[in-house]
Chain A
Amino acid sequence: EPEVTQTPSHQVTQMGQEVILRCVPISNHLYFYWYRQILGQKVEFLVSFYNNEISEKSEIFDDQFSVERPDGSNFTLKIRSTKLEDSAMYFCASGPPPGSPLHFGNGTRLTVT
């Protein structure tokens, strides 16, 4: 069964550094998402992306965050200047049109020191 793949599985970075989290969605999906889960807390929606533009974003997704689909397969989340509170598990998801289940990757654990 097709899977959403995320790399790296674990990223450690220093505060203030830029990080790029990468995702390869399922090939025939057109809707892409990023969610995050701070340790011990709920999974939170960050952003949805369709037709090469952001369709919706949460309050968390401020100017430090950006997403891009640089080619036909990758979907990236960039955090420009990481903060300690950005430490979390970041999940990429893809899906058919809204109203259908999402397919999640295994996540990237980001640790900001």
Chain B
Amino acid sequence: SQQGEEDPQALSIQEGENATMNCSYKTSINNLQWYRQNSGRGLVHLILIRSNEREKHSGRLRVTLDTSKKSSSLLITASRAADTASYFCATDPQAAGNKLTFGGGTRVLVKP
């Protein structure tokens, strides 16, 4: 698979449930970032986790990073209808400042 692959590709949940999505990558990274994209809009940065970090929280978001497995996960707890969007992981390779490589994204639908 290519750098920054998310799975699942799509996720449908009920409001209040948790949503978990995963990202795998191939090369060494400086950091890994998660972005959200509402339909037809730009990418909004959610959270950045550095290669020496294992877990990070921001509000209802929890991100983990396992550099030995080259994988990351994004957990959205107590989802809301407003969380409906596509979520992308993006890897920032070492020594390639901010030349981000994006995955294909996970489309999340939160049903009210």
Contact = CB atoms under 8 A, between A and B. Distances in A.
Interface centre among A35, A48, A56, A101 (most CB of B within 10 A): A101
A102 B35 CA distance: 10
Contact of A102 (B98, B103, B105): B98
A41 B33 CA distance: 18
A44 B102 contact: yes
Interface in B88-110: 88, 90, 92, 96-105
Nearest to A106: B42
Contacts of B101: 45
A42 B104 contact: yes
Interface string A42-77: 111100100000011010000000000000000000
Chain A, interface SS category: strand
Nearest to A6: B42
A107 B102 contact: no
Contacts of A100: 48, 98
Interface residues of B, number: 25
Interface residues of A, number: 27
A25 interface: no
Contact of A104 (B43, B92, B103, B105): B43
6 contacts: A56-B99, A91-B42, A98-B97, A99-B30, A101-B45, A102-B45
A71 B96 CA distance: 27
A39 B40 CA distance: 10
B84 interface: no
A42 B42 contact: no
A99 B98 contact: yes
A43 B2 CA distance: 13
Contact of B33 (A4, A35, A101): A101
B41 interface: yes
Nearest to B97: A98
